[in-house]
Amino acid sequence: MQNNEKKIVEAAVHYIEALFQNNADGHDAAHSMRVYHNAVSLANNEPECDREVVMLAALLHDVDDHKLFQTENNANARLFLTEQEVPAEKIELICEIINGVSFSKNRGKRPATLEGQIVQDADRLDALGAIGIARTFAYGGKHGRSLDASVEHFYEKLLLLKDEMNTDGARKMAEERHAFLEAFLEEYKKES
């Protein structure tokens, strides 16, 4: 990572830590950091991608999430990127990628850019496996959902994610995490 790139990434980490400081529903700074690490891992297999765009879009992907903020036109992301003197063209690309992440808004849609595909995959990977299970119940608890109502989310979203991955690296990672979801559901049914 180059010095300027490292400086902007570090600033983005501090920005999301402050922004998500009091959030405990699974859309917090820890989630954004896992998405970032997933994205970097996937980007390592795709040498032609713009790593800086991937890193910034991954870190900032939830800073304007409609479930958390009442912003328009990626206001929080744009403010941060403008303050970091990111070129306007790159800001537009990052915002386009961010807008392509949400499962509910982009189900069945493949992002046009490799960078967008990587970040979408990275976010969806964090909804699978043990972390995905924990996040589902954290979100459900915060929003007053019963355990059974939270389990319904597995069928509405989580179990669908494996087949919607864009990159080979994400597909491989999703297989194992998907199997863990299925094993959890089997055990949940036994204990219910």
Q: Tell which residue, 97, 35, 28, has the closest CA to residue 67.
A: 28
Angle at 132 between CA 20 and CA 156, to 5 degrees: 110
CATH number of the domain that residue 135 is part of: 1.10.3210.50
Domain of residue 177: give its range. 3-191
pLDDT digits (tens, 9 = 90+) for 104-119: 777 788 899 999 999 9
Q: Global pTM? A: 0.92
pLDDT digits (tens, 9 = 90+) for 177-191: 999 999 999 999 999
Indicate the number of domains in the chain. Answer: 1
Q: Tell which residue, 91, 19, 100, has the closest CA to residue 56.
A: 91
Residues 33 and 19 sit within 8 Å (Cβ to Cβ) = no
